[in-house]
Amino acid sequence: MDKLIIEGGRKLQGEINISGAKNAALPLIAATLLAPGWHVIRNVPDLRDTKTILALLESFGAVWKRDGNVLSINTEALTNLEASYDLVKTMRASILVLGPLLARMRKARVSLPGGCAIGARPIDFHLDGLSKMGARLDLEEGYVNASTGNRLSGGNIYFDIPSVTGTENILMASVLAKGVTVIKNAAREPEVGNLIDMLISMGADIEGKDTDRLIIHGVKDLRPAEVTTIPDRIETGTYMVAVGATGGEVTLRNCNPNHLPALTEKLKAAGLIIEETENSFFVSRPSKIQSVDIKTQPYPGFPTDLQAQLMALMSMANGLSVITEKIFENRFMHVAELKRMGAEIKINGNSAIVKGSKRLKGARVMATDLRASASLVVARLAAEGITEISRIYHLERGYEDMVGKLQALGANVRKEKE
C-alpha cells in the first residue's frame, strides 16, 4: 500500500489540466455493451475505477486498447454474462453493466454491491425500474439474476430521489426496449447528459437531456459510439478548494465552469477570486477565507462529492459554518480525521458545525473513502509541518495523477510505500 507524504504550508501556483470525469467515463464504458463493433471514448482518465470496469468488461469477453486517454472497446463477443463479486465489491458502479447487458443479451447475473463506507446506498431504484420494464429478477446468494424472454418493454419509471447511476442504468436498458420509457425525477447531473449524448450518437432516441423527465423511444439496434468524456467537475472543484486552503494563483485548464455553479458561488462568497472562460478557471485567494454554509443537493445544487473538501476549508475560515449532507446518511467519515488535525467540528444529525480559524496541525491521518481522502489532502496542504496520509489507494480510484498535478503547482508532495 502507498502513502502520501505532504509538507504543507506552500501556496499553490501555476496551471494544470483537468482529466476526464470518472463518474462520466464509467457509464460511457458500460454503454459500449449495448452495441457490437469498436467504440471510441476520448478523454478517459486512467484510474483504479476505470481499470476495474474495463476488467469487468474483459471478464464478459470484451477487448479494449488504450492510446493515451483514448479508449477503444469492442464488445462483439460476450461469452460470459456474470459480474463476479470480486470485481463488483471494489466498485459499486459495477451495477451499471446490468441495464445494458439485459437490454442487448437479455440476461445478466450481477453481484450485489454490498455495504459502502458512505451509507447504505441501496440499488432498489435500479431493480424496480428494470422490473417495470419486464425483467425477471431473482436475488440468489448475493447475486441478481436478471432475464427477459423478449426485448424489455418501455415503462413509466419514477425515482423517489433522483439517482445518478439509477437514471443511467434505466437509460441504457430503455434505449433498446420496445416502446416508450419515461423516467420521471431523473438525475440531471452533467455525467447523465454525457451518457445521453453517447447513446444518441449510437442511434438512440432520447428527449429531455438536462431535465428531470427523460423520454426514450426504444430502437431495435445501435451502432458503435465515438464520444468524449466531459471534464471532471469534482477534480476541478477539489483543486479550487485546495487553492482556498493554501492561497496562491492557479489556472485549471480543460474544465467546464458551467458544471460547478454552486461551488463557484460559495467560493466567491468565501472570498476567493474566480474568473472563468469557456474551458478554464483562474482561482486565487487574496485574503483570509470567510465561512459559508452549504447543503448538498442533486445537481445543480452543491455536490456531495465536494462536501468533505469544503469542510476542510471551512475549518480554516473566519467564523462558523454549517454543512448539511442531504444525499448520503453517513458521509462524515472525514470528520474524525480532520479533528485529529485540530479542526473543531460537531456533528448534529446530518449537519456538521465547523468552528473555523483553526491552524491545522500535522497529525498522521488515514484515508477512508475517495472524497474523504481528498479533504485530508486539502487540509494537509495548508497545515504546517510534514505528515503522512496512509491508504491512498482510495485517492487513486478517482484522481488521475494527483501527486504529479500537485507537484506541478509547487506543492511538496510525494508517494512512498507503506
Q: Establish whether 116 is a catalytic residue.
A: yes
**Does residue 332 interact with ligand EPU by CB under 6 A?**
no
Residues 79-98 that bind ligand EPU (CB under 6 A): 92-93
Min dist. Cβ of residue 21 to ligand EPU (A): 9
State phi, psi for 16 to the nearest 5 degrees.
-140, 160
Helix locations, 186-306, DSSP H: 190-201, 233-246, 261-269
Quick note: the x/- pattern for ligand EPU over 63-82, rule CB under 6 A, is --------------------
Closest CA to 337 of 304, 383, 296, 297: 383
**Does residue 121 interact with ligand EPU by CB under 6 A?**
yes
**Does residue 291 interact with ligand EPU by CB under 6 A?**
no
Helix locations, 33-73, DSSP H: 48-60
CB-nearer residue toward ligand EPU: 148 or 167: 167
User: 14 and 250 in contact (C-beta within 8 Å)?
Assistant: yes
Spatial CB neighbours of 284, under 8 Å, sequence gap ≥ 6: 243, 248, 249, 250, 272, 273
Min dist. Cβ of residue 414 to ligand EPU (A): 24
Min dist. Cβ of residue 290 to ligand EPU (A): 27
Closest CA to 269 of 317, 304, 326: 317
Segment near ligand EPU (CB under 6 A), from 37-45, 114-122, 261-269, 386-394? Answer: 114-122
CB-nearer residue toward ligand EPU: 98 or 379: 98
**Does residue 399 interact with ligand EPU by CB under 6 A?**
no
How far is Cα 103 from Cα 237, in angstroms, rounded to an integer?
35
**Does residue 398 interact with ligand EPU by CB under 6 A?**
yes
How far is Cα 226 from Cα 303, in angstroms, rounded to an integer?
28
Encode burial over 26-60: b for 16+ CB neighbours within 10 A, e otherwise. bbbbbbbbbbbebbebebbbbbbbbebbbebbebb
Closest CA to 225 of 3, 20, 34: 34
Number of residues that bind ligand EPU (CB under 6 A): 25
**Does residue 26 interact with ligand EPU by CB under 6 A?**
yes
How far is Cα 333 from Cα 347, in angstroms, rounded to an integer?
11
From the list 77, 116, 139, 161, the catalytic residue is 116
Min dist. Cβ of residue 307 to ligand EPU (A): 9
Report the residue from 41, 44, 370, 403 that binds ligand EPU according to the rule CB under 6 A.
Answer: 370
**Does residue 11 interact with ligand EPU by CB under 6 A?**
no
Active site residues: 116
Residue numbers at the binding site for ligand EPU (CB under 6 A): 23, 26, 92-93, 119, 121-126, 161, 163-166, 187, 191, 304-305, 327-328, 370-371, 398
